A and B are shown apart, each in its own frame.
Chain A
Amino acid sequence: MNKRTSAGSKLVASPYIVWAALFIIAPLFFVVYYSFTDKGGAFTLENVQMLSKYLPTFLRSIWFGIVATIICLVIAFPMAYIISQKTDKVQRTMVMLVMLPMWMSFLIRTYSWMAILQDTGIINSFFSKIGIGQVHMINTGGAVILGMVYNFLPYMILPIYSVMAKLDYSMVEACQDLGGNRLTVIRRCIMPMSIPGVVSGITMVFVPSVSTFYISQKLGGGSFDLIGDVIERQFQQSYNYNLGASLSLVLMILILISMAVMNKFSDEGEMVI
């Protein structure tokens, strides 16, 4: 192909490059800018110094995120395996059923959990009918983690499933021929081969869990503030954009570090979506 047409077709990317510079790169620059300035726009380290006050909140967010991610992984792995063993038609239907809840507003679905978990809610009225006393569930840390697991479980099932569905089954057969029973085949053969799916599942669950703010407000009743809640308040209630920006900056760096660590575990270093 001659050089002129090639240069011409490269040019069609330029609107996007301008767009990305304006609306992807520039906003990140403003996060840094607001982090290190005060309301008047003068340089200050005050916001960064304030961060230590929020250390417990950061730690709680990370802890909740890790627990939710592990629970998702434990639930999703067998589920993905079970789906991948079905016939094509059943697989398609089951994947659709896993995806379907994601198309309904997560706000409404989380709110609906309140009706289930409340002290006078569905589970407790069932408990009192069969004679078990009331169990306090709403506004606990466990309820927040349940909300995270519920909302992000599909993000764990789908990438693991998509890796398992494409596995080279001659390897599985070889493992069986060598005398492996069902569990050995899963542990020594299927598990190692599905690592890329697991890695992308972990990032897809951990990132939204750590940064969520709605789930913790509704199911935690305000007593389990996560870092997302604090950021949200700075922007929507106390209008301290500078502090909010520095908190966001730390959250971003935290996510980047954890993603870099996760990518070390996967050989390809590429995400499977």
Chain B
Amino acid sequence: MRRGIAIAAALLLLALPWLLHAVLPANQAGFWTGNILGRALVFGIIAMSLTFLATYGGFVSLAQMMIAGVAGYTLAIFVEGAVPRIVGGAGYALAIPLGVLAATLMGLLVGAIAVRTRDIYLLMITLSLSMGVFRFVETNITWFNGYEGIRNVVGPSLWGLDFRNPWVFYHVTLGTAVLLFAGVMYLVRSPFGLVLQGIRDNPRRVAALGYNVALHRIAAFGVAGFIAGCGGVLATIYNIGISPGTIGLGATVNVLIMAVIGGLGHPVGAFLGSFIFTVFDTFAATVYDRDRFNTLIGIVFLVIVLASPDGVLGVGTRLRRLLGRRAADK
């Protein structure tokens, strides 16, 4: 039943660009496919790395955007054609795995540094790591080209199709998101995933049962780093490059907002949240005063979180419960 819903949702998402094309003019259909849906999926992947840690491990990490940035910078540094040329010489087939690998290693490192902290202290330590990397990247010219960042990371061409074509970009991103999502759903039922949830509920008991809590925690951050790295690579290609602003405080908080308004509790919440965020981030300025559109965005998010503390996912659960009660009453 649940698998059926998941497959139906995946097929719908697969066909969505054609549906949009049927109802919208060509240029708008392209815009929605690439700049709304594609972008929402990219940031949904990064937000999912946060949701994965928070939902199954109870760790709220503010380092996930920075880790995504590590993947993006690694890609930009090594890939041929990026401006300015830092190292260069590598094709996308090599530079992309290098980026994801670097993000995974950074995830493991963050996990190892934060291994003994919980709750607000974990939040603070991951935030300070993020800001440390941000400042370093912003001021280092030799490796990161400082404030300007690295441009012209155009992405590979796939079987003669330009990656920048919204339809190609959307489907590659959708494929990546679906694979990562399925991977997370597999992982949380594995012994690793069960023990991770055990650590969330009761770390003392997990240790008493003979598990290495630190090892499982660090591995969870490594997995989240891999996910964020995939998102970081796609985000860098989407933006045709990367600059320090990508991993600044604003971007870091945005990822947290996406995860929270979507709902911590299931990885799908990350994608719901990033979609809502992207829509408002794109259209608020045209709906409301250009100088004050952030007020509108803020109010909308406030309303969502006040109406449903567990995000959009919580609304669904509550509706289902309500309908179930109605049905039971009859």
A associates with B: no
Interface residues of chain B, those whose CB is within 8 Å of chain A, are: none
Interface residues of chain A, those whose CB is within 8 Å of chain B, are: none
